[in-house]
Structure 1
Amino acid sequence: MEYLIRRVRADEWQQVRELRLLALQDPVASIAFLETYENASAKDDSFWMERTEGSAVGERVAQFVAEAPDGSWVGTVSVLVEKPGVATAFSDPAVMDQTHIVGVFVRSEVRGSGVGDALFRAGIEWSWELRETKAERVRLFVHERNGRAEGLYKKLGFERTGVTVPMAGGSGELEIEMAVRRTQA
């Protein structure tokens, strides 16, 4: 089946919310996302409208979706721009112009079909094409027990950087940073 990989549009906030809530119900959501279903489902429409609008235009953040021929969304990935000296999603200040892939989700029925690969390619290409920021690398974090996700990331050229951060909540578990550099792309 052919999927259209594209950036979200500002008026698609309801679909963005629906896919995010579905992702947060995935069996690995507790180690894959920094948000819970309960917190996300309690957010009002204005939150989702603003989030979607911010991801649809500009060069600060982009959200990409995989759209099936019937119009349904089967996957998503978001990319955040990080600038040197500015705190990031993990509170560490960025040391270089880079982007950070977050919010990765592919519906279980299409996993292994290439949708995840295509979403990542779109996010990485967007990172290299930025005009205001010359991203030196694209990074992401993966939970130390999320082998399925780490396997995908390695296949796409991401490598462990040696940086780890503790999971929120004091569980003692770690998030592992992986990155692909511009020269590798």
Structure 2
Amino acid sequence: MSMSLLITGLALFMAVHLIPKAPRLRLALVGRLGAKPYRGAFSAVALLALAVVVWGFSRSPVEQVYAPPAWGHPVSMILTPIALVLFAAANMPTRIRALVRHPMLLGLLLWAFAHLLANGEIRSLVLFGGFAAFAAVEIASAAARGKGPPKEPPPRIAMDIAAVVVGAIAAGLLAGFHGVLFGAPVL
């Protein structure tokens, strides 16, 4: 039952994020709900899906599938802050966003890969493997459509510094509270 919740939450999270890729469906929903209510519903469903993912993950069996490499945890400690900087940069007018085609998806891929390096149980394989596969497919799909970062004038370096600071603060907070939030201390 717990693994079913994890998989259901992942499927719902991914499905809601595929709606923007289906323009007719998205336009129909925006037409029916309105732009702001659509965004609100989108966010609410995505948050609900994440809550189901966390709940399902926390109750899923901790059965080892593979032994993570000895270097996996230290490498994950490097990749995760980079992923968080990419998450921040994706939502700010940064040079990072102008250089990296899809910073949010690349950040998700790095974050998931980092967790796969440090964890070898089935629930981690399902969760982080699912997110890694989703991000990789989305990056490839966007590249095939020729979709890249928006063409904007080069932003000021201050926004890149802000993205790094936000990512570093997020990394510090997550490292400090990971055990409380997710039941597995980072350090």
Q: Same fold (TM over 0.5)?
A: no
Structure (1 or 2) with the greater strand fraction: 1
Q: Under a length normalisation based on structure 1, what TM-score does the superposition of the two structures give?
A: 0.29
Report the TM-score, using the length of structure 2 for normalisation. Answer: 0.29
Which structure has more RCO (C-alpha within 8 Å, separation ≥ 6)? 2
Bigger helix share: 2
Larger radius of gyration: 2
